[in-house]
Structure 1
């Protein structure tokens, strides 16, 4: 290497020029800011329908099961039927001792007679200018009140007996002769089985409940009725969870009269298909959901694999590790299932795993 021998002053000028040139042309790679990318895991979104068809078990009942009792209560004098007995409309089932009712009616009748005499006397005295108009009007009011009391006791006497409200069977007898019962206390449970109003009460999950509507059809089959299936239709569905079974109740009315004998409580199976079964839904992992409140929440999606987008979704059933999304993902291609807590809307992402 050849060594340059430059005067000290000239060497200083060369060094200064080189330094200035370096300041005027910085490194471009260090001048451009770098944006952090968040590593995430994506899952392709595939919409699916709710269960197209399913089976549910339940028990037979009728739509007119009724609890019968006495309006005024008292001591039960006589019960004429037992559990399992067939009954007809208007048939006498039980009655209470009438002594108290009859005594009360006698008192009211005497009150009416006295009020009638008082009014007639006041009426005559008023027209003879002895009694005032107010006295005659008060006597008339007392008579009207006594007559209304008589109507009330006559009405109550009718309900000192229990009569069947339908053609059916006694499902339960809840009291015995000689027992004191209060007003409205159930004494019998009956149904209208002979009217043919049979229906099947089945328990379904929340997801199945969501796709069922009134009027949907079903096929009912019971071991006690042989291999034949019977057409049924959804009459109604409950609007709340049954705490005893942990399911939602759906009532299926039979459209055909069973060929065999049917009893309340008999088990059967229903094959059902909800009319909302084509509804688009998505099943997403619970950890992908952000800020969920039971009805709605937020998730991050990505359509290009490079940018995350925060979207609002409507929620359906929520399980231990999975959430049903009813709406909000129609235009999404992939869901961020890992790394969501570190993202903001529009953040750059790096796909490290696809689930």
Structure 2
């Protein structure tokens, strides 16, 4: 029996030794990691959009009266000087109206003179004299209207600028007030019109700053200020239009440039932020990070990235009570693995 007892004892000792070795190996398998705090802070998340550049002053130029266009000596895109004639109507009908009004005024003047003389000789009554005076004033008004219409039967450049768009051609018949040109003043004053969703437009206020980039000048950042915020959505796009005033620049710009706009709302909101380096997987806005449990096991959490600002990411989805997140060593972890925190 003694040999049997010896074997039993030996087997138990080997079993205990193996168990201790397994425990040692499990302890040795703990991944050494460093942690970083999860911070709640107020930050301003930029709003991004695409806009169109244009001059701040754009005017639709038209004729006061209708008629046949006699000549347009300028072309679309051409620069013009203040006072330069850029379109004129055929004046045949308008000159006839001025001539007719002039004849009527001359007749009314003679009638009034005659009535005044006759009234002085007690031949005409006071009423006749007053009626002649009224007719003279009406004829004078008609002449003024005809002359005014002739004056505005040509279009002159209201300032130094450029013909942005031409809507009619020579010999076409245009109605009174119908736009002939879209005119933009030249200078260093430019604006950007962009569309925002309802979720973004409520974050924007007049005076908010913005960065602007253009395909025409890659790598160059321009600055702008929000000048107007639309109160009604565009029925075609469903977006709310905002207008930004571009800061003065010496770069050569042109209406129609496509711009990328990054607006920084003055109002800050509270967000949970973590270091970007703590994120182990990401697909769009969906990402994963690791925290640790009370028994020092790694726990993989699914989060949503709101935005990235520098080395930080504003996120949602981290449970309340979690104050720290695994930073260094997170790339080597799997869910449930033991961790050892290195201070």
Instruction: Note the aligned Cα RMSD (angstroms).
Output: 2.1
Deviation (angstroms), 1:102:
0.7
Q: 1:105 aligns with which of 94, 98, 102?
A: 98
In structure 2, what is the equivalent of residue 267 of structure 1? Answer: 258
CA contact 2:204–2:265 (8 Å) conserved in 1: yes
Deviation (angstroms), 1:50:
9.4
**Is 1:207 matched with 2:215?**
no
Q: Distance in 2 between matches of 1:197 and 1:91?
A: 22
Deviation (angstroms), 1:263:
1.8
Give deviations 1:204-228, integer Å, cap 9, x for gaps.
Answer: 1112211211111111111212312
In structure 2, what is the equivalent of residue 52 of structure 1? Answer: 45
Q: Distance in 1 between matches of 2:43 and 2:81?
A: 46
Q: Distance in 2 between matches of 1:278 and 1:136?
A: 80
In structure 2, what is the equivalent of residue 219 of structure 1? Answer: 211
Q: 1:276 aligns with which of 264, 267, 271?
A: 267
Measured at CA, do residues 258 and 239 of structure 1 come closer, stay the same or move farther in structure 2, by a change above 3 Å?
A: farther
Give deviations 1:168-219, integer Å, cap 9, x for gaps.
Answer: 2111111111111010111111111x22221111111112211211111111
CA contact 1:59–1:200 (8 Å) conserved in 2: yes
Q: 1:67 aligns with which of 37, 60, 64?
A: 60
Deviation (angstroms), 1:254:
0.9
Give the TM-score of the pair, scaled to structure 1: 0.62
Q: Secondary structure at the match of 2:148?
A: helix
Unaligned runs of 5+ in 1: 1-46, 281-355
Deviation (angstroms), 1:244:
2.2
Q: Secondary structure at the match of 2:216?
A: helix
Q: 1:134 aligns with which of 127, 134, 139?
A: 127
Unaligned runs of 5+ in 2: 1-39, 272-343
Measured at CA, do residues 63 and 128 of structure 1 come closer, stay the same or move farther in structure 2, by a change above 3 Å?
A: same
Give deviations 1:304-328, integer Å, cap 9, x for gaps.
Answer: xxxxxxxxxxxxxxxxxxxxxxxxx
Deviation >4 Å, runs of 4+: 47-51
Please give the residue correspondences for 1:279-294 in structure 2 after superposition, counting only pairs within 5 Å.
none
Q: 2:142 aligns with which of 136, 144, 149?
A: 149
**Is 1:188 matched with 2:181?**
yes
In structure 1, what is the equivalent of residue 114 of structure 2? Answer: 121
Give deviations 1:7-62, integer Å, cap 9, x for gaps.
Answer: xxxxxxxxxxxxxxxxxxxxxxxxxxxxxxxxxxxxxxxx9989621211111012
Q: 2:228 aligns with which of 236, 241, 251?
A: 236
In structure 2, what is the equivalent of residue 159 of structure 1? Answer: 152
What is the count of residue pairs matched by the alignment? 233
Q: Distance in 2 between matches of 1:154 and 1:230?
A: 48
Q: Distance in 1 between matches of 2:179 and 2:189?
A: 22
Q: Secondary structure at the match of 1:235?
A: strand
CA contact 1:57–1:267 (8 Å) conserved in 2: yes
Deviation (angstroms), 1:105:
0.6
Give deviations 1:90-128, integer Å, cap 9, x for gaps.
Answer: 211110011111111111111111101111111111111
Measured at CA, do residues 279 and 69 of structure 1 come closer, stay the same or move farther in structure 2, by a change above 3 Å?
A: farther
Q: Distance in 2 between matches of 1:137 and 1:178?
A: 46
CA contact 1:94–1:161 (8 Å) conserved in 2: yes
CA contact 2:60–2:179 (8 Å) conserved in 1: yes
Deviation (angstroms), 1:245:
2.2
Q: Secondary structure at the match of 1:109?
A: helix
Q: Distance in 1 between matches of 2:268 and 2:95?
A: 63
Structure richer in strand, relative to its length: 2
Please give the residue correspondences for 1:248-267 in structure 2 after superposition, counting only pairs within 5 Å.
248-259=240-251, 261-267=252-258
